[in-house]
Amino acid sequence: MKLVAGNIFGFWMFLVVAIFTLVLINYSKSGKINITLRKIAGLEAIEESIGRATEMGKPIHFSPGLGDIIGATAAETFAALEVLSYVTRMSAKYNAELVVTIRQPNVFPLAQESVKQQYMAAGKSDMFKEDTVRFLSNQQVAYTTGVVGFMHREKVAANIMAGLYMGEALLLAEAGAQIGAIQVAITASMTQLPFFVAACDYTIIGEELFAAGAYLSQDRIKLGGIAAQDYIKLAVMATAVAGALLMSSGSNFLNRLLVK
Amino acid sequence: MRKEVPLVITFVVAIIVMLSAITTGPIPGTSIAISDLFRQHISPWMTIVSAFAVGLASVNLLRVHTRAIARKRNDWIYSVILIVTLAIYAGFRTYVELNLSNATAAANYALIFNNILTPLSAAMWALLAFYVASASYRAFRARSAEATVLLISAIVVMLGAAPVGALIWSRFPDVQRWLLEVPNMTGQRGILIGAAIGGFVTSLRVLLGMERGHLGSAD
Amino acid sequence: MQISTNIWHWFMAASILAMFSFLYKENPFYRVAEHVFVGSTAGHALGMAIGNIHRFGWRPFFEQSKYSLLIPLVLGIMLYARFIPKINWVSRWPIAFLVGVGVGQSIYTSLRTQVINQTLGAMIKIQGATLMQTVNNLIGILGLIAVLTYFIFSIQQKGVVRRVAHGGRWLMMVTFGVSFGNVVAGRISVLLGQLQNLLGTWLGII
Amino acid sequence: MDFLKKLQNVDRRIIYLLFVLALAIPLIRPIGIPLQISPATRAVYNIIESLDPATDVVLLSFEYAPGSGIDIHAIPVTVVEHLMKRGLRWVGVSFSPEGPLMMNMIIDDLESRGYKYGEDFVNLGYMAGEENAIRLFSLDTSVFTTDSRGNSVASLPIMQGISTVKDFAFVHGFTSSDLGIAGWLRQAVDPLGIDYAVGVVTVSVPSATPYYNSGQLKGLLGGLRGAAEYELLIETPGLGASMMDAQSMGHLLILGFILLGNLSYLFGKKK
């Protein structure tokens, strides 16, 4: 068994980075390091929006995005499900009705299980109903049509969208804006960010999606992961600068190493 | 056992899938290559399990709407419409799938697909153009320096992308291309790298069972 | 002007008008269209899924004796255990399987294809053939650092870090503006297609 | 300045109405604004021009749903037109459920013009599993045992001599999501080193451009505009070309909205 060319550096780097991440997570878990995250404007607004939904007696809508848990979008969807855990906890805390709509059939059982568990943990099992988590359609436009119709009919007070979004983002966000819902969008989908910025009250951008779970739960394992992310980014920056400088002085050593 | 088995399944499957993409040759001590293991087993398995998940999700959709009908909720009539169309399409499509050689059935299905689903989908999608128009009126305002930057680059790109832009100023397409290829690409690259790192750490936590809300707690 | 006599064209026009009526306000026509749409696409997916189970599972299992396919067939059925409270927990096995495939596909590739390849993309010779190219190359590398700095979470944004992160935010705003500008053309195209259907195919005035 | 204040809160329905008029009028009475052809469009054209109809088979991958409309559908229509003009054979495959049906819309037209299914082109159908399926198919095209019409794939004349994706002279994808491109690059193009170009919806152009610049994509057709450019290149005007004027008017109106919105905002603020 051999590594395919082009993956030798990548594979060893994968191991190094993975081990490094685990070490940091363990340090954080055992309290050897304390990690305080910078403020992520917008994430705090989630609780506020749920509180308002309770006052108005209207439901909260949550969407874990259009991504699947298989394929390249898996991580974005997992990150969105972490946000869902928090939203469910808050919904339990404020007794606000939560409705989660689902596009990907594979995500459906995960989201359902996750919501059920969070309600149970909060001692509010009765808040979980068959229609708390609803599958609509795996066709993206049909899903959107369903969500738009639902939001208008139920006059949802808060609309929280996390995960991967595609072209329909503005349809969802405008529908929310027209009924006056407080809207929080959390996504790394670049092409859709300008529309969320335009139509939502709060937009959380890019990697912030992956920090949201840690930020909201202050869970030490997750915080350790964030610290690892920061160090990896620093390493990327250093590599990019070193590579550019080497190239400028006529050596492509680093470039060749990376594609090994 | 209830807690461990799922974690083991996730871990083992993930490692096989990951290694299948980057290794060649047989696993030491066996004659099977990981890539074959993936190709011949894991991948078709996944297609099948995913298909069952579609069924599960459909059961949820049906239950939500049959309940709405049973309780005569407001607008229950729409639930009836949904269930009837679902049954027709599912039934017809299943027939086509199980009788692939029946070209007439396939052609008839294409008829109800192309002529009903396609226009609905495209019509909904077209609403976006209206929303872009109203959003550009209401929301794209120079409220802050940042918003102004967004606004200006959007305007330049629009002028560069439409044929009419080149008539106003012949360099618009060039400026548009510069914005697209230099600042845009740099920004995208930064966002992409950040998100990929975040995705990597998130996946690692799932791989090692540190994140398992979806698997439920011990019960 | 020649109005179409094809029933499907009338149906198409009705679909478009039902969806567009939503622009005025939510109304029964939209609701009918919405429920038909969700129902038909969900039905289509269900039919396809049954076809896939039959094509990739059932037939190879019985006709080609691929007995290992028993595993996914059983895993698939296990998903439905969630309806039986006593054995609810077995439904987590297929979920664990799906999650495993997802993680396996994304964990390494996110590092290799995205992080390493994109970093490589930034590692270019700074001095270009023209001054403009050199400036572009500098924007490329400095801009990347600024954007990544914005995404550093465990350091508070103060002093230099704050200023660099701000630069990153500005660059991202340019990116968003570019995305917006590009999207506009695409959205207009789709609407044009619909207008063509209404005015041309249905009403026959173009 | 009451007028400006009113302007700031104009009913969105008025905006919708103005917008639909601005598009419909040039659609009925075109103006004829000239069009520049981008290098990325020309690249696709040049590749197809360089292929040999006697030996080369092209793979077309359809990954879009009807919802994206002509912004994507106009692209395969014109690319296929070019292939047919040159007498090149093509195999169609799909990794999104609605893809085969979109492909059939093109195939129906070809058959009515006398081209032969199974010899000139074939629709292999859809395979679930997204990225995963792309990889599987790339390594071994026989994962499709039957095509979308139930024929045995191995017996089709066009499929003779093809066992992996590398046996195609050129691969052209049509995708309405960024994932389609990334999936192909990760699973087939980068590991196997095949020539791959893609047609995308206009929205995806910024995110696809880096791949074109890095050479991973050999060509890039962006939305209706890309289709219009391509139609000009092959000298067969179609859907794209007929709509470019209306698109320009739509752009101008949106620019006007942004301007008006900002003016009323600035004056409103001063008061």
Q: What is the pLDDT of residues B47-72, one digit of tens each?
A: 999 999 999 999 999 999 999 999 88
Same-domain pairing of A228 and A213? no
Q: Is residue C135 part of a domain?
A: yes
Per-residue model confidence as pLDDT tens for chain C (206 residues): 688 888 888 988 999 999 999 999 899 999 999 999 999 999 999 999 999 999 889 999 999 888 999 999 999 999 999 889 888 889 999 999 999 999 998 899 888 888 998 999 899 899 888 999 999 999 999 999 999 999 999 988 888 999 999 999 999 999 999 888 878 877 888 898 889 889 988 998 87
Q: Is residue D11 part of a domain?
A: no
Same-domain pairing of A150 and A248? no
Distance CA B33, CA C17 (A): 56
Q: What is the pLDDT of residues A13-39, one digit of tens each?
A: 999 999 999 999 999 999 999 999 999
> What is the least distance, in Å, from the CA of B147 to any CA of chain C?
7
Per the structure, the complete domain to which residue C168 belongs is given by 125-200
Same-domain pairing of A83 and A27? no
ipTM of the assembly? 0.83
Count of CB contacts below 8 A, B vs C? 397
Inform me whether the C-beta atom of residue A204 falls under 8 Å from chain B C-beta atoms.
no
Domain count, chain D: 1
Per the DSSP assignment, residues forming a β-bridge with D93 are D61
Same-domain pairing of A73 and A126? yes
List chain B residues with CB under 8 Å of A117.
Answer: 213, 216-217
Q: What is the pLDDT of residues C110-152, one digit of tens each?
A: 888 889 989 998 998 998 889 999 999 999 999 999 999 999 9
Q: Within 13 Å and on the Cβ side, how many CA atoms surround B189?
A: 31
Same-domain pairing of A182 and A74? yes
Q: Is residue D55 part of a domain?
A: yes
pLDDT at D1: 56
Q: Is residue D60 part of a domain?
A: yes
The answer to whether residues D80 and D102 touch, using CB atoms and an 8 Å cutoff, is: no
Same-domain pairing of A227 and A211? no
Q: Is residue A40 part of a domain?
A: no
Partner residue facing B164 (CB), from D67, D104, D251: D251
Q: Is residue D4 part of a domain?
A: no
Same-domain pairing of A236 and A141? no
Same-domain pairing of A168 and A61? yes
List chain B residues with CB under 8 Å of C130.
Answer: none
Q: Is residue A3 part of a domain?
A: no
Q: Is residue A183 part of a domain?
A: yes
Per the DSSP assignment, residues forming a β-bridge with A184 are A160, A202
Per the structure, the complete domain to which residue B6 belongs is given by 1-98
Contact D68 A71 (CB under 8 A): no
Inform me whether the C-beta atom of residue C79 falls under 8 Å from chain B C-beta atoms.
yes
Q: Is residue C95 part of a domain?
A: no
pLDDT-based confidence at residue B219 (cuts at 50, 70, 90): very low
- Nearest C-alpha neighbor of D156 from the set D186, D191, D116, D192: D116
Q: What is the pLDDT of residues A92-118, one digit of tens each?
A: 999 999 999 999 999 999 999 899 999
Domain count, chain C: 1
User: Any idea what the CATH number is for the domain that residue D54 is in?
Assistant: 3.40.50
Per the structure, the complete domain to which residue A54 belongs is given by 45-217
Per the structure, the complete domain to which residue D202 belongs is given by 39-240
Q: Is residue D24 part of a domain?
A: no
Query: Subunits with at least 3 CB pairs below 8 A relative to chain B?
Result: A, C, D
pLDDT at D41: 95
Same-domain pairing of A20 and A125? no
Q: Is residue A64 part of a domain?
A: yes
Inform me whether the C-beta atom of residue D126 falls under 8 Å from chain C C-beta atoms.
yes
pLDDT at B172: 85
Same-domain pairing of A25 and A153? no
Same-domain pairing of A86 and A187? yes
Domain count, chain B: 1
Distance CA A28, CA A185 (A): 29
Q: Is residue B56 part of a domain?
A: yes
Domain count, chain A: 2
Per the DSSP assignment, residues forming a β-bridge with A186 are A162, A204
Q: Is residue A39 part of a domain?
A: no
Q: Please give the order of strands across the beta sheet that includes A98-102.
A: A133-135, A98-102, A60-65, A158-164, A182-187, A202-205
Pick the range with the lowest mean pLDDT from A47-56, B185-194, B206-215, D14-23.
Answer: B206-215
Dump the DSSP string for A162-202.
EEE--TTHHHHHHHHHHTT-EEEEEE--GGGHHHHHHH-SE
Q: Is residue D139 part of a domain?
A: yes
Same-domain pairing of A18 and A115? no
Sign of the alpha-carbon dihedral angle for B120, B126, B128, B130: negative
Q: Is residue D28 part of a domain?
A: no
Q: What is the pTM of this model?
A: 0.85
Partner residue facing A247 (CB), from C98, C125, C157: C125
